[in-house]
Structure formats: C-alpha cells, structure tokens
Amino acid sequence: MRDIALTLFVFGLIPYILMRPYVGLLVWSWFGYMNPHRLCYGFAYSFPWVQVVAILTFVSIFLNKEMRRIPKSPVSILMILFFVWTTFTTFFAAETDSAWQHWNEFSKTLIMVWVTLILVNDRRRMHMLVWLIVVSLGFYGLKGGLFTILRGGTQTVFGPAGSFIADNNDLAQALCMVLPLMQYLRLHSQGRLVRAGVGLSMLVTGVAILGTYSRGGLVALAVVSGVLFLKSRRRIALIVVFAALGYVGYHFMPAPWLERMDTLQHARQVNTLQTRIQSWEFATNVALHHPVVGGGFDVYKSASMWRNYGPEGAQSRAIHSIYFRVLGEHGFPGLVLFLGLLFASWRSCARIRKMTRHSLEQRWAYDLSSMLQVSLIAFMTAGLATTSSYFDLSYQLMAMCLLLAIITSDQKAKSLVRENAAPALSVASGQKEVAAYQ
C-alpha cells in the first residue's frame, strides 16, 4: 500500500516539476533526506526515484529557461576544487572499484547542491527549502523521540536503512544539524500554533538524539544547546526545551544509557572508542606516506593498507572522523580544501550577520545566518566521531550560506533603490503641483 501511495504521489507531482523546476529540487531533496522509499516494502524500495526526479528537474530547468551560472564565491570555488581533487585522488585509490562507486555517490550529492545554487534565488524559495529539510529529517526526530519515550529509552534509535542516516551516530548528527533550522522556523512562522508545534518538535527531536545512544550525538547536542542559546533570540523557550532534555537524560533514560554516556569520561578504556582512535592513527599514517593523494575513497576497506599503516593490533574499521577520513582518503590538500570550505561558509554567514544586525526588514536573514552557523557547528562537532564527511545535508547547508549572502545583498540593493527613489518622486510631485498652480 505504501508503494502505491508513494508512486501515485510522485507521478502526480510530475506536471508541477515540469512547470516549476524548483518543485523538482524540493522533491529531490525530500528523497535525499527523508528517504520515503526506504519506508516501503515492495517495488518502491529499490526504484531509482532520485534519478527520475533529477532528470525531470533538469528537463524543467531547460524548458523554463532557469539555467543560470553557479554564483562565484569562495564557497562555490572551494566546493568545485574539492570535487576536482577527490576525482583526481580516485585515480590512485587503493580500493579502485569501491572508490569509484563512492565518487559516483558524492558527485550526485554535489549535482543536487549545484542545482540548489542555480534555483534558489529569493527569500521565499530559501524559506521553503528550510521547511523541506526540517520536515524531512524532523519526521525521524518525532518518530525516534516518541519511540524512545514509549520504550522507556531501552532501545536504540536508527535511521532508515540504506540512507546517509541509517547509523545511529549519523542520525544523531543530522538531528543536531536540523535543530537550529527548527529554531529559525519557530522565530519566523506566522501562526502561534505553528510556532508551538515547532518548539514541541525541537523537544521531541532532542529526546530522539538521546535515544540514538550516540556519545558523539550527546556532545554535539550539548554544544548546539549552548551556541543556540548564544546566537538566538527568544531564549526562554530554548531554556525550557534544554532543561526538559536534561531532566529526561538524567531521570528518564535507563541505566545502560547512563553507563554508555559515562564512558566519555574515560574514552581510552572503552574498546569502541579505542578502535576509533586506531582508525584516526591509520588515516594519519596513510596521509604521511601518501601526503598528496591519500588512499582514495574507502581506503579503510583495503586489508593491505591496514597491514602497512594501521597501528599494531588494530582492528580494521571505517574512519570515524570527518576530518581524519578526508585526510586519509584525499591527503593533506583534500583536508585543506575541506576545512577551507567549512571556514568560507562560516565567514559568509558572519558577514550576513554583520550586515543585517540592525535591519528589521532583514531580521530573517540575520536569524537564518545565525542558525546556519549553529548547524555547521553541529556537523563539525558530531563529525569528530562520525564517518559522514560527504553527508549531502552539510554541502547543501554550505550552498545556502552562499545563497543567503546573495539574496540579502540583492534585497538590500533594492531597498536602497526604493529609498533613493522616494525623494525624487516627492520632488517631481512638488513640481507638478507648482505647475498646476501656475
């Protein structure tokens, strides 16, 4: 039944996608974040929905003549350079077949990001994209939070199978990244019930993060809570939400959860954290011996590379750090480009905050840039212990940092034109009145 419902829904959207390519981008992002087909059990589960929607979106772009150049900025340039560099390192990958498969997945992610750079050109479209991200990932926040409450926190919350957020740690990271966007919508939604609903969703999503049993997710949640408090307005609701989360974590979550979180105090004594540290050492050794190109995508899957560069007695496993993973897979140039991309995105938002700090008309841009910075902090903090270096949401958020700067500058320019035109109109009107009097 779910398969039929999803098929009818998507096929019913085809005329709208062909008329408005931006609708195609929203549907494309919906499949990327919510993965509704992974909630089905029949033919829809493995059907190539993303490819179909992507093709329709490109057809619509050409039909509606919305093809524009990708905006030039440090963010877009670094993103292109990072993609070019990962392509170059893939030719020297230790695991050739796996590396090219991963490169193919990463290229699809960046194609969606580049389409975002082409199609999102005003506040309304940006606002709709934020809603789409929040609804898509917030679904798993609500679902996971209710599951945690009903089961008393005794079972781990996971994301949909076969997706970027299938792992509990990756799901916790994604939910931490979406919390600031929820706060933006809470600040700028019109209806009181909508604002209250978003606030409640933040609380339940926070419970879902606890329910993932992710230690990195807990650390990221704590950091996000503090930064969100510092960078946001209307903080009383935030205090209530985070105080409630603290109470749930301490008094509601069962003993196994408390014991697992307690291991953060003595990380080197815990086997899982020890193996993660070993994966960092492995990535570092690979980069030191192959400083330019690294080991290519999925280098950790190579048994020979582990024998040569893994620490003594290490267990081969994925590199659980977005930074060490990029370092091991793409060498020091790849890491520099990756960190530069994060820094450029942050700086773009910082300039927006400075430009719009005292503007009531652009308060929305000030708040959104602040929340995008908090989302980046969530990605960078939780990423210390996750494998999600190529998570599609992180790159789309970086693109949104660039687009918000362009939209804000255009809006400010139009406002200045209106202000300058007003005196001229007054003078012209006065001259007409004098002429009529004479």
- Dihedral Cα 95, 98, 102, 105, nearest 10 deg: 160
Average pLDDT over residues 142-161: 92
Residues 44 and 46: their CA atoms lie apart, in Å, by 6
Burial zone of 67 (CB within 10 Å; 0-12 exposed, 13-18 middle, 19+ buried) = exposed
Q: In the 8-state DSSP scheme, what is residue 251?
A: I
% pLDDT > 90, the chain: 67
The token duo for 420 is 């300058």
Q: What is the pLDDT of residues 380-397, one digit of tens each?
A: 999 998 899 999 999 999
Residues 258 and 322: their CA atoms lie apart, in Å, by 26
> Which residue type sits at 112?
M
Q: In the 8-state DSSP scheme, what is residue 71?
A: P
Banded pLDDT at 438 (limits 50, 70, 90): very low
Give yes or no for a contact between 351 and 405, defined as CB atoms under 8 angstroms apart: yes
- Rounded to the nearest integer, the mean pLDDT of the chain is 89
Residues 232 and 237: their CA atoms lie apart, in Å, by 11
Distance (Å) of CA 64 to CA 20, 58, 61: 8, 10, 5
Give Cβ neighbours of residue 171 (< 8 Å, ≥ 6 apart): 140, 144, 157, 158, 159, 165, 208, 212, 214, 217
Q: What is the pLDDT of residues 65-101, one digit of tens each?
A: 877 788 889 999 999 999 999 999 999 999 999 999 9
Does pLDDT of 271 surpass 80?
no
More confident residue, 164 or 144: 144
The token duo for 419 is 């202000």
Distance (Å) of CA 98 to CA 166, 281, 283, 309: 19, 22, 17, 19
Residues 130 and 390: their CA atoms lie apart, in Å, by 20
Residues 116 and 403: their CA atoms lie apart, in Å, by 9
pLDDT at position 109, please? 93
Residues 44 and 2: their CA atoms lie apart, in Å, by 8
Banded pLDDT at 266 (limits 50, 70, 90): low
Average pLDDT over residues 313-326: 90
pLDDT at position 89, please? 96
Give Cβ neighbours of residue 356 (< 8 Å, ≥ 6 apart): 362, 363, 365, 366, 369, 408
Banded pLDDT at 434 (limits 50, 70, 90): very low
Residues 395 and 401: their CA atoms lie apart, in Å, by 10
Average pLDDT over residues 410-424: 71
From 43-57, 118-132, 197-211, 237-251, the region with the lowest mean pLDDT: 237-251
Give yes or no for a contact between 307 and 315, defined as CB atoms under 8 angstroms apart: no
Does pLDDT of 437 surpass 80?
no
27-44 burial code (b ≥16 CB/10 A, e <16): bbbbbbbbbbbbbbeeeb
The token duo for 266 is 């003595």
CA angle 102, 104, 110 (to 5 degrees): 105
Q: What is the pLDDT of residues 230-256, one digit of tens each?
A: 888 877 888 888 888 888 887 889 888
The token duo for 365 is 């841009």
The token duo for 229 is 């408090």
Q: Where are the alpha helices (DSSP H) in 189-302?
A: 192-211, 215-231, 235-247, 255-262, 271-289
Give Cβ neighbours of residue 162 (< 8 Å, ≥ 6 apart): 35, 38
Q: What is the pLDDT of residues 295-318, one digit of tens each?
A: 999 999 999 999 999 888 788 888
Does pLDDT of 357 surpass 50?
yes
Q: What is the pLDDT of residues 20-36, one digit of tens each?
A: 999 999 999 999 999 99
> Pick from 237, 268, 25: which is nearest to 129 by CA?
25
pLDDT at position 410, please? 83
Does pLDDT of 430 surpass 80?
no
% pLDDT > 70, the chain: 94
Q: In the 8-state DSSP scheme, what is residue 95?
A: S
DSSP-assigned states of every residue in 3-24: HHHHHHHHHHHHHHHHH-HHHH
Give yes or no for a contact between 206 and 182, defined as CB atoms under 8 angstroms apart: no
Average pLDDT over residues 180-198: 92
